Amino acid sequence: MKRLFVAVAGCLCLGAYQAQSQSLNVNWDDVVSVSKSTPTLQVVGNPMLRRKAAMHDASFAALKQLNADYVRYVPWFPYPKLAVAELEPPAEKTSWDFSLIDPMTIDFLENTKGHSVILNFSTIPQWMFKTDNPVTYPADANQVSWGYSGGTVLRDTSMKELTGYYVRLISWYSKGGFTDELGKYHKSGHHYEIPYWEVLNEPDLEHSMSPQTYTKIYDAMVTAIKTVSPRTKFVGMALAYEKPDWFEYFLDPANHKPGIPLDMISYHCYANANSNQKFEAYEYSVFDKAESFINSVNYIENIRKRLSPGTKTDINELGTFVSDEMRNQPITPAYWNLSASVYAYFFIELSKRGIDVIGESQLVGFPTQFPDVSMINYINNKPNARFWVLKMIKDNIKAGSKLVRTGLDGNNGDNILAQGFVNGDVKKVLILNKRNKGIFIKLPATFKGAKVSTIDGDSGDSPATRSVINNENIEMKPFAVKLIELKK
């Protein structure tokens, strides 16, 4: 790692940025709230995480280095052979096969050992749904299959077929094996703890479920899974969109069977660029959409507190998307700093709102598989700015830190966002630049000698650069994220 301490030189080109200069104010004695938030990420199963794939080694090494809690693991439907353990319905024999699923899953579990992971094998075997014709899947496990998610009605409305699949899958990883539908025992030898299980993924999109249908599935799944994994806690919904009717229905205990736990809910947000938008305009569209999402969070939190105040919240897919036009072209390097700045924005604003888990999406993406959300550079296999901002926040701002009143004179949050945190005798300020231009920040005199970690265009795919404040002004380069540390 590059961990160099250098003195910050005088303000270069100050006159050029005079109009954008802001003054930071932090009242360390005015505690606004206490953070409950844990920063983390999700890992989506895909071919680049298979052993011997180009991105495998560096990606799992980065995951282990991050050392995060509540990491979400999602083998997902576009790659059926990597996500579904029983691809054909049982007949004279069963099709249970973990040979392609196990290596990636075991690598995930081993590199997150000791942490409270959230598992979500979200893809229901397609044959369990009524469809006009059988849904096929590629023979090549690396070939994408976006059509493997059809059907809206389960063929077995009792849901015994569905819950039986998940009980066996969980038993494979936690009980050493299982007995299949025809009485044959399949031995795995795996005895992993499953701290959290998330029930399905984006059911408002995948299989177009209603909140009523999903709640019935959730209750049936929880009841069945508890018979083999009684200590597991559950995450519900994993919604693609913030639909009030889902929260109103699912969070109402009256709509569940007696004794069903509502441990945690989850939902997602991708602040996307507009169609055909050029990169020069991204900074406005993605931050506008991020701000709109925070307004939705306020509304959802009111519902949660009213109906089920003991339920925690995991916003476990946070990211940005490029425009469709850019997705098929090399992504400009500055985009990764923009996206990293957006995650820092989400972390600050969601921490203020008491969100328990703040998850960045996703460890690995690559061309044809959401390249714009990757935290690993798929060209050189190094962690990119999105990863390093997450690591900087995770290593420095812990749950239990006090949020103190923080502001910038003449700023109003349009260009710069800053938040001060206090933990014990250490004071820290997280600052991000929303704009694709340099902006100078005037610091209080007490900041002289403070340590600064910076992720910006200069740091590239390397860890945060380190410096020491030796001037009353610091420059926030385009989309920069800084962490300033002072001792009390």
The pLDDT tens digits of the residues spanning 413-431 come to 589 999 999 999 999 999 9
- What pLDDT band is residue 325 in, cutting at 50, 70 and 90? confident
Q: Phi and psi (nearest 5°) for 422?
A: -125, 130
Provide the b/e sequence for 44-83 (b: ≥16 CB within 10 Å).
Answer: bbbbbbbeebebbebbbebbeebebbbbbbbbbbbbbbbb
Determine the angle formed by the axes of helices 101-111 and 56-66, rounding to 10 degrees: 30
The candidate with the shortest Cα–Cα distance to 430, out of 336, 350, 334, 317, is 350
Q: Residue 99, SS3?
A: coil
Between CA 402 and CA 399 the distance in angstroms is: 9
Over 80: is that where the pLDDT of 160 sits? yes
- What pLDDT band is residue 488 in, cutting at 50, 70 and 90? confident
Residue span(s) of the chain under CATH 2.60.40.1180 come to 5-33+403-487
Beta bridge partners of 118: 72, 196
H or E segment and range at residue 224: helix 211-226
Report which of residues 5 and 226 the model is more confident about.
226
What does the pLDDT average to over 153-165? Answer: 97
Q: Say what the pLDDT of residue 148 is.
A: 94
**Alpha carbon of 66 to those of 62, 112, 237, 379, 474: distances in Å?**
6, 9, 26, 21, 28
Write the DSSP assignment of 453-483 as a string of letters.
Answer: EEESTTTTTSPPEEEE--SSEEEE-TT-EEE
Q: Residue 365 half-sphere exposure, CB side, CA atoms within 13 Å?
A: 22
**CATH superfamily ID and name for 36-396:** Glycosidases (3.20.20.80)
What integer best gives the mean pLDDT of the chain? 94
* Pairing outcome for strands 38-45 and 72-75: parallel
Provide the b/e sequence for 152-177 (b: ≥16 CB within 10 Å).
Answer: eebeeeebebbbbbbbbbbbbbbbee
Q: Say what the pLDDT of residue 359 is.
A: 98
CB atoms within 10 A of CB 33: 13
Length of the chain measured in residues: 488
Between CA 282 and CA 323 the distance in angstroms is: 9
Share of the chain above pLDDT 90, in %: 91
* Ranges of H-type helices in 378-475: 385-396
Q: Do residues 37 and 351 lie in contact, with contact meaning Cβ atoms separated by under 8 Å?
A: yes
CATH number of 5-33+403-487: 2.60.40.1180
Tell me the per-residue pLDDT of 123-149, one tens digit each, with 9 for 90 and over. Answer: 999 999 999 999 999 999 999 999 998
Tell me the per-residue pLDDT of 442-487, one tens digit each, with 9 for 90 and over. Answer: 999 999 999 999 999 999 999 999 999 999 999 999 999 999 999 8
What does the pLDDT average to over 343-360? Answer: 98
Q: Say what the pLDDT of residue 6 is.
A: 30
Between CA 86 and CA 64 the distance in angstroms is: 30
Residue span(s) of the chain under CATH 3.20.20.80 come to 36-396
Between CA 316 and CA 251 the distance in angstroms is: 18
Share of the chain above pLDDT 70, in %: 95
Distance, first Cα to last Cα, the chain: 28
Over 50: is that where the pLDDT of 18 sits? no
Token couple for 286: 């993605």
Sign for the CA dihedral angle at 293, 38, 44, 261 comes to negative
With DSSP H G I counted as helix, E B as strand and the rest as coil, what are the percentages for the chain, rounded to 5? 30, 25, 45
Q: Phi and psi (nearest 5°) for 213?
A: -65, -45
Q: Say what the pLDDT of residue 487 is.
A: 82
Over 60: is that where the pLDDT of 5 sits? no
Between CA 356 and CA 249 the distance in angstroms is: 21
User: Which of 5-9, 215-219, 222-226, 393-397 is predicted with the least confidence, judged by mean pLDDT?
Assistant: 5-9
Token couple for 124: 């229901």
Token couple for 476: 């926030």
H or E segment and range at residue 6: strand 5-7
Tell me the per-residue pLDDT of 383-402, one tens digit each, with 9 for 90 and over. Answer: 999 999 999 999 999 999 99
Q: Do residues 170 and 228 lie in contact, with contact meaning Cβ atoms separated by under 8 Å?
A: yes
The candidate with the shortest Cα–Cα distance to 193, out of 82, 118, 124, 111, is 118
